[in-house]
């Protein structure tokens, strides 16, 4: 796909920022499980924390294609940070943009789009992952307030976020009984029970968040009562585009490292890249990566043109996430024993990319969506 001059400039700006503000620190963040506050501040100054939000509300309103290009560049430097940025820009910012009142947008979305406040998305629960309609967290209305009680699981930035988009049950109806709320995380009753010990992406914490008699004013209801399920689903496409972009960024980094290594390392009196087995593997990696980019850029372009892209977003997410795992695995094989060492970056990329086929809808959920779209 041919990029416009503006898109190339945005991509290059993101690449330069990642080179200066992210790449030199990514390994240390991961080893020490340090939240990358300084990088988020740099991204905020560049306008990358409100990429899909209009300037009138503090954002930069990039196209979806430009958005995924930025996420790719961040992911090439650090997969964990790309998750934080993707979640904030998509499933945290967009629900308020699309369903919030003017007052909610001014109070919450403007500082989020400027990067002054960080957002998180509280949908999954210990017994409700892929089946979002099974959530048990309750919001009981008392006068002009709601009392929130329940547990949310796998909340990206749940510990460090300032604003949470929370989904809770307001009636017994399976889907129509779910409502959405804007919850400042400094509200009494918002508690981080624990941060999970994960395989990878150690700089991006995922938290178990507990709500204990947390009082929310009615003015923090997002959309109408009972619209929560619709709000949750309406923003998943943008999240899946973000995950596809993350996957592509990490896979691109793995391929670049492999190419450089294969052009320098010798075995049996030849460069690795001169061995047919290695060159074939590199060819497959590059081909799969290129195919994933075309799927993603096509889906993003559909979204930019206000056309349906549920199937295409799921295809991009499915293929890119599984492709990235294969590419990273093959990259480690090219490096041999060195690829397995923590002194080299590939083992971290491999661990970081593994979650891409799980969050924002597992691969099987994406296949289910694609199958339904094909046969409806």
Report the catalytic residues.
360
Which residue's structure tokens are 């979806």?
Answer: 64
Closest CA to 214 of 153, 156, 138, 324: 138
Answer for the pair 36, 24: CB distance below 8 angstroms, yes or no.
no
Token pair of 361 as six digits: 């809808």
Name residue 246's beta-bridge partners.
none
- Whether the CB-CB separation of 22 and 81 falls below 8 Å is answered with yes
Nearest-angstrom CA–CA distance, 5 and 97: 28
HSE-up of 366 (CA within 13 Å, CB side)?
27
Give the SS3 label for residue 135. coil
- HEC-encoded secondary structure of 272-290: HHHCHHHHHHHHHHHHHHH
- On whether the CB atoms of residues 150 and 168 are closer than 8 A, the answer is yes
- And the tokens for 162? 């300032």
How many degrees, rounded to 5, is the angle at CA 82 between CA 76 and CA 84?
A: 165
Give yes or no for a contact between 109 and 98, defined as CB atoms under 8 angstroms apart: no
Let me know: does 234 contact 61? Beta carbons within 8 Å. no
DSSP 3-state assignment of 209?
Answer: strand
Is there a contact between 18 and 60 (Cβ–Cβ < 8 Å)? no
d(CA 223, CA 291): 38
Distance between CA atoms of 148 and 318, rounded to whole angstroms? 34
Give Cα separations from 278 to 171, 262, 324, 333, 349 (angstroms).
Answer: 58, 8, 18, 9, 20
Residues 6+ apart with CB under 8 A from 41: 115
């Amino acid at each position: 796909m041919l990029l416009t001059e503006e898109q190339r400039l945005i991509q290059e700006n993101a690449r330069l920022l990642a080179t200066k503000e992210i790449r030199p620190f990514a390994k240390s963040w991961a080893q020490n499980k340090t939240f990358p506050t300084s990088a988020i501040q740099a991204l905020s100054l560049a306008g990358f924390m409100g990429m899909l939000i209009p300037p009138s509300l503090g954002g930069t309103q990039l196209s979806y294609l430009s958005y995924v290009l930025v996420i790719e560049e961040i992911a090439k430097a650090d997969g964990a940070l790309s998750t934080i940025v993707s979640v904030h820009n998509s499933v945290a910012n967009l629900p308020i943009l699309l369903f919030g009142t003017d007052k909610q947008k001014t109070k919450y979305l403007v500082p989020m789009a400027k990067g002054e406040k960080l957002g998180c998305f509280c949908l999954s629960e210990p017994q409700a992952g892929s089946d979002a309609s099974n959530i048990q967290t309750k919001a009981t209305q008392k006068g002009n307030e709601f009392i929130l009680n329940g547990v949310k699981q796998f909340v990206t930035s749940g510990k460090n976020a300032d604003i949470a988009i929370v989904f809770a049950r307001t009636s017994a109806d399976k889907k129509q009984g779910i409502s959405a709320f804007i919850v400042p995380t400094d509200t009494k009753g918002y508690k981080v029970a624990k941060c999970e010990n994960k395989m990878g992406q150690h700089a991006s914490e995922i938290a178990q968040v507990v709500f204990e008699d947390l009082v929310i004013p009615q003015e923090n209801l997002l959309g109408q009562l009972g619209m929560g399920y619709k709000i949750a689903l309406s923003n998943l496409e943008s999240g899946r585009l973000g995950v596809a972009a993350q996957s592509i960024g990490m896979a691109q980094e793995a391929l670049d490292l492999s190419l450089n290594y294969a052009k320098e390392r010798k075995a049996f009196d030849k460069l690795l890249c001169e061995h047919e087995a290695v060159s074939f593997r590199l060819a497959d990696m590059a081909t799969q990566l290129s195919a994933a980019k075309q799927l993603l850029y096509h889906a993003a372009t559909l979204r930019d043109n206000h056309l349906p892209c549920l199937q295409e977003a799921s295809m991009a997410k499915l293929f890119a996430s599984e492709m990235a795992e294969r590419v990273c695995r093959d990259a480690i094989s090219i490096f041999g024993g060195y690829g397995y060492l923590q002194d080299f970056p590939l083992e971290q990329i491999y661990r970081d990319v593994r979650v891409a086929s799980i969050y924002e809808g597992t691969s099987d959920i994406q296949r289910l969506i694609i199958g339904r779209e094909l046969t409806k």
